């Protein structure tokens, strides 16, 4: 009996131990190690994400600006990868072994058991040679995607570009985006990302242990179709956009044109620009690196980010505010001896020109600094010198109504606000009560601390064309099949100036083009009203500025052109604007009495020279007891650092400041 009970306990103990071992193994396989789960799942059902095509982008006339083309991404699940001929794999997809290991380590770091992108944007030709051999490379698969293509290679800064989503965007998306997904990085691609990206689809495939597809799971009952992104119809006119980019070739500056009756942006040129097709394909990274190294900063969207002194283009706005405030009338006169005395300062008209007796209209036409200095002092001094702060603040508030000093909230990311100084700025600079109208007199003619973006300058012209109101500028006029835009773009924004005061100002602007400073840019048969500006800057020649609208009756286009460091507004900006205006209104460019023609401006190179100075580098002192190779390297590092600092041009220094402040100031 005793031996029987002893054997029973032994046998029971063996069964208990075996059961515990099996349970422990089962726990390890199902809970601790997910490798078997992955194998089992992939032997039965394989989930394939179907990526939709992004919505195409059209110009206002239905011409395609952005389309899609198919590419293929190789995805990898690191834990499913087995031994294979890596060298042959690299040859098939066109990479080397160090790149293979780099990409694999990145994928493994992201997740050993989740698939992520290994190599992106393979061409259909490469995919054709690869697809029949994919079974030789376990753990890898190919996913069809689409990337952007740009038929006309224009409007790069407006359209923006797409790229792989980063970790921060993935976290912010609450699980929508995954590593390797594409997302809008800049421009319209970014601001309208939800509309453009569409909706992903899912396909459940039955596969065997070798990864061979055997069919669709449950006959596709659990599949969902991908939905393409919405089509966007932009307000751009590709005809004048292309012409504008050609006219601004080898120049630094911007062109913005707006339809006054809607606020739709017709032309959006930031120069230098770049071919947006460079942002697509497997060389994208190298192309971006080269563009970032370009000292003329092609990624800067000058239309909404660069800040320029408006110069004389600001004078019509000064006149409107002064009339509304009752300090002048259209009949107010001023005798110009070629200069203006403000306090102990003597301010010359351009080149000391003597305009004689001028009224408001002729002062605009002849761009008389003295008249508008007088107007500004009347505005600032009307409550007495002790109340300069109060009068200045009232002036500033009136200017701000025209959209200066704040963002216009255009439908693009990264818009700048320009700069409209407050009284507190001068209180800090000169101490409270220590400054007068003569201290800030340059603001009256659009100089000093006043800075505006080209979009703001064009918007002011749209406001004048509308006799006192503007619609917020925008770049997208329809989403999908419906003519739907954001409600805020349909609201009239009044600037607080009565309509009656615009006519004498517009009379002067018409005379600017017909017989004044911009007479050389007159368009036969079209009444264009404009204002030249020669805006002084702290480095180089003045900026050439011209603002205008046309025709005078029922205006169809308002425009602002800035060509950096190129001299007088009449010399460069005005002719460029006139070509754009005529092209838009007539779809052609006729010969001008002045003899100017587009080819000259297209072929002229006005790029500021990038000057690098290499100072002599002193030899680093070495210890005679040391070998030359053992000399103190810290001194050489400091010398190289100092040399690199000296080699920075003003433009390159501005680049550094741009990425620090996200906007660029031109003072």
Asked if the structure places residue 306 within a domain, the reply is yes
Rounded Cα gap, residues 459 and 473, in angstroms: 7
Cβ neighbours of 568 (radius 10 Å): 21
Nearest Cα residue to 370 out of 391, 354, 392: 354
Determine the pLDDT at residue 205: 77
Confidence of residue 251 (pLDDT cuts 50, 70, 90): very high
- Judged against a pLDDT cut of 60, whether residue 507 lies above it is answered with yes
- Judged against a pLDDT cut of 60, whether residue 645 lies above it is answered with no
Asked if the structure places residue 648 within a domain, the reply is no
pLDDT tens digits, one per residue of 21-43: 888 777 776 666 655 555 555 55
The mean per-residue pLDDT over the stretch 652-659 comes to 36
Q: What is the 3-state secondary structure (H, E, C) of 293-321?
A: HCCCCCCCCHHHHEEECCHHHHHHHHHHH
Rounded Cα gap, residues 503 and 319, in angstroms: 11
- Judged against a pLDDT cut of 70, whether residue 482 lies above it is answered with yes
Contact status, residue 308 vs residue 454, Cβ threshold 8 Å: yes
Tell me which residue has tokens 């209104």: 585
Tell me which residue has tokens 């003072």: 667
The mean per-residue pLDDT over the stretch 333-361 comes to 90
Select the more confidently predicted residue: 38 or 106.
106
Asked if the structure places residue 51 within a domain, the reply is yes
Q: Are residues 328 and 204 in the same domain?
A: no
Q: Are residues 16 and 61 in the same domain?
A: no
Instruction: Mention every residue, 6+ apart, whose C-beta is less than 8 A from residue 97.
Output: 86, 87, 90
Determine the pLDDT at residue 36: 54
pLDDT tens digits, one per residue of 362-405: 999 999 999 999 999 999 999 998 899 999 999 999 999 999 99
Determine the pLDDT at residue 614: 53
Asked if the structure places residue 643 within a domain, the reply is no
Q: Are residues 224 and 243 in the same domain?
A: no
Cβ neighbours of 205 (radius 10 Å): 17
Kindly state the helix (H) or strand (E) to which residue 190 belongs, with its residue range.
Answer: helix 187-191
| Count of domains observed in the chain | 3
Asked if the structure places residue 177 within a domain, the reply is yes
Phi and psi at residue 213, in whole multiples of 5°?
Answer: -70, 130
Determine the pLDDT at residue 615: 53
Give the end of a domain, one of 603, 629, 655.
603
Q: For residue 393, what are the β-bridge partners?
A: none
Determine the pLDDT at residue 212: 64
- Judged against a pLDDT cut of 90, whether residue 630 lies above it is answered with no
Rounded Cα gap, residues 459 and 471, in angstroms: 9
- Judged against a pLDDT cut of 70, whether residue 638 lies above it is answered with no
Q: Which of 158-167, 179-188, 324-333 has the highest mean pLDDT?
A: 324-333
Determine the pLDDT at residue 35: 54
Q: Are residues 201 and 336 in the same domain?
A: no
Q: Are residues 203 and 320 in the same domain?
A: no
The mean per-residue pLDDT over the stretch 478-489 comes to 83
Instruction: Mention every residue, 6+ apart, whose C-beta is less than 8 A from residue 360.
Output: 319, 323, 328, 329, 330, 331, 332, 371, 504, 505, 508
Determine the pLDDT at residue 343: 85
> Rounded to the nearest 5 degrees, what angle is found at the Cα of 361, between the Cα atoms of 357 and 365?
90
Quickly count helices (H) and strands (E) in the chain.
23, 24
* Mean model confidence pLDDT for the chain: 86
Confidence of residue 91 (pLDDT cuts 50, 70, 90): very high
Asked if the structure places residue 480 within a domain, the reply is yes
Asked if the structure places residue 40 within a domain, the reply is no
Determine the pLDDT at residue 183: 93
Q: Are residues 141 and 268 in the same domain?
A: no
First to last CA, the chain: 108
What is the reported pTM?
Answer: 0.82
Q: Are residues 200 and 314 in the same domain?
A: no
DSSP designation for 227 = B
The mean per-residue pLDDT over the stretch 157-173 comes to 91
Give the end of a domain, one of 566, 583, 603.
603
Q: Which of 78-82, 287-291, 436-440 has the lowest mean pLDDT?
A: 78-82
Q: Are residues 387 and 415 in the same domain?
A: yes
Q: Are residues 545 and 399 in the same domain?
A: yes
CATH number at residue 418: 3.40.710.10
**Percentage of the chain modeled with pLDDT above 90:** 61
CA torsion angle for 73, 74, 79, 85 (degrees, to 10)?
-170
Confidence of residue 429 (pLDDT cuts 50, 70, 90): very high
pLDDT tens digits, one per residue of 570-593: 999 999 999 999 999 999 999 999
- Judged against a pLDDT cut of 60, whether residue 665 lies above it is answered with no
Provide the 3-class DSSP secondary structure of residue 84.
Answer: coil
Contact status, residue 202 vs residue 217, Cβ threshold 8 Å: no
Q: Are residues 393 and 282 in the same domain?
A: yes
Domain span at residue 319 reads: 238-603
**Percentage of the chain modeled with pLDDT above 70:** 87
The mean per-residue pLDDT over the stretch 152-158 comes to 96
Q: Which of 15-19, 470-474, 553-557 has the lowest mean pLDDT?
A: 15-19
Contact status, residue 264 vs residue 60, Cβ threshold 8 Å: yes
Cβ neighbours of 201 (radius 10 Å): 15
Give the end of a domain, one of 177, 207, 234.
234
Tell me which residue has tokens 């006729």: 590
Determine the pLDDT at residue 662: 32
Determine the pLDDT at residue 424: 95
Rounded Cα gap, residues 399 and 330, in angstroms: 19
Determine the pLDDT at residue 181: 86
Rounded Cα gap, residues 49 and 117, in angstroms: 13
Q: Which of 60-74, 505-519, 626-640 has the lowest mean pLDDT?
A: 626-640
Q: Are residues 165 and 247 in the same domain?
A: no
pLDDT tens digits, one per residue of 405-418: 999 999 999 999 99
Asked if the structure places residue 169 within a domain, the reply is yes
Q: Are residues 203 and 276 in the same domain?
A: no
Contact status, residue 320 vs residue 501, Cβ threshold 8 Å: yes
Using the Cα atoms of residue 520, residue 521, residue 527 and residue 529 in order, give the sign of their dihedral.
negative
pLDDT tens digits, one per residue of 118-140: 998 888 888 888 888 888 898 89
Determine the pLDDT at residue 248: 98
Determine the pLDDT at residue 410: 96
Nearest Cα residue to 454 out of 352, 576, 586: 576
Determine the pLDDT at residue 633: 34
CATH number at residue 56: 3.90.1310.10
Nearest Cα residue to 459 out of 513, 523, 397, 407: 407
């Amino acid at each position: 009996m005793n031996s029987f009970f002893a054997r029973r306990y032994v046998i029971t103990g063996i069964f208990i131990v075996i059961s515990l071992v099996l349970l422990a193994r089962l726990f390890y396989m199902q809970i601790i190690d997910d490798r078997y789960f992955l194998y089992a799942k992939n032997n039965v059902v394989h989930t394939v994400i179907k990526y939709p095509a992004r919505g195409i982008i059209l110009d206002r006339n239905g011409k395609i600006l952005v389309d899609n083309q198919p590419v293929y991404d190789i995805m990898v699940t690191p834990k499913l990868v087995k031994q294979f001929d890596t060298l042959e794999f690299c040859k098939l997809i066109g990479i080397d072994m160090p790149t293979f290991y780099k990409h694999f380590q990145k994928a493994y770091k992201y997740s050993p058991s989740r698939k992520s992108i290994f190599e992106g944007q393979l061409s259909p030709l490469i995919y054709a040679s690869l697809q029949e051999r994919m079974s030789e490379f376990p753990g890898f698969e190919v996913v069809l995607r689409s990337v952007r293509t740009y038929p006309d290679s224009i409007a790069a800064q407006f359209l923006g570009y797409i790229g792989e989503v980063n970790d921060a965007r993935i976290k912010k998306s609450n699980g929508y985006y995954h590593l390797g997904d594409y997302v809008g990085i800049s421009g319209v691609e970014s601001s309208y990302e939800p509309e453009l990206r569409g909706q992903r689809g899912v396909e459940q495939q039955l596969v065997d242990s070798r990864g061979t597809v055997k069919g669709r799971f449950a006959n596709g009952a659990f599949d969902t179709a991908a939905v393409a992104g919405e089509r966007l119809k932009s307000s751009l006119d590709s005809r004048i956009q292309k012409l504008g980019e050609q006219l601004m070739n080898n120049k630094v500056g911007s062109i913005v044109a707006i339809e006054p009756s809607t606020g739709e942006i017709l032309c959006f040129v930031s120069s230098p620009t770049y071919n947006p097709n460079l942002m697509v394909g497997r060389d994208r990274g190298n192309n971006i690196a080269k563009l970032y190294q370009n000292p003329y900063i092609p990624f800067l969207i000058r239309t909404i980010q660069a800040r320029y002194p408006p110069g004389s283009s600001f004078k019509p706005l000064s006149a409107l505010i002064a009339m509304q405030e009752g300090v002048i009338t259209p009949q107010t006169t001023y005798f110009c001896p070629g200069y203006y005395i403000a306090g102990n300062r003597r301010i010359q008209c351009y080149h000391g020109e003597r305009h004689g007796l001028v009224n408001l209209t002729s002062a605009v036409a002849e761009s008389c600094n003295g008249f508008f200095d007088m107007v500004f002092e009347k505005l600032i001094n009307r409550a007495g010198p002790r109340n300069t702060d109060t009068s200045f603040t009232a002036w500033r508030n009136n200017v701000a109504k025209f959209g200066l000093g704040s963002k216009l909230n255009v439908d693009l990311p990264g818009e700048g606000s320009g700069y409209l100084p407050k009284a507190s700025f001068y209180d800090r600079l000169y101490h409270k009560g220590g400054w007068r109208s003569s201290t800030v007199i340059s603001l009256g003619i659009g100089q000093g601390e006043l800075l505006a973006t080209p979009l703001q300058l064009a918007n002011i012209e749209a406001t004048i064309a509308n006799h006192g109101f503007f619609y917020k500028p925008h770049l997208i006029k329809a989403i999908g099949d419906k003519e739907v835009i954001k409600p805020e773009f349909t609201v009239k924004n009044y600037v607080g100036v009565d309509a009656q005061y615009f006519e004498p100002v517009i009379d002067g602007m018409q005379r600017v083009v017909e017989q004044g400073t911009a007479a050389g840019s007159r368009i036969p048969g079209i009444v264009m009203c404009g204002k030249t500006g020669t805006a002084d800057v702290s480095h180089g020649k003045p900026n050439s500025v011209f603002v205008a609208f046309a025709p005078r009756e029922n205006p169809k286009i308002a425009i602002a052109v800035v060509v950096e460091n190129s001299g007088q507004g009449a010399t460069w900006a005005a002719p460029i604007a006139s070509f754009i205006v005529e092209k838009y209104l007539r779809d052609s460019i006729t010969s001008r009495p002045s003899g100017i023609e587009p080819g000259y401006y297209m072929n002229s190179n006005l790029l500021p020279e990038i000057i690098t100075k290499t100072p002599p580098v002193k030899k680093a002192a070495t210890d005679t007891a040391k070998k030359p190779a053992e000399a103190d390297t810290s001194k050489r590092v400091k010398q190289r650092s100092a040399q690199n600092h000296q080699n920075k041009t003003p433009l390159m220094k501005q680049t550094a400041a741009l990425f620090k402040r996200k906007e660029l100031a031109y003072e």
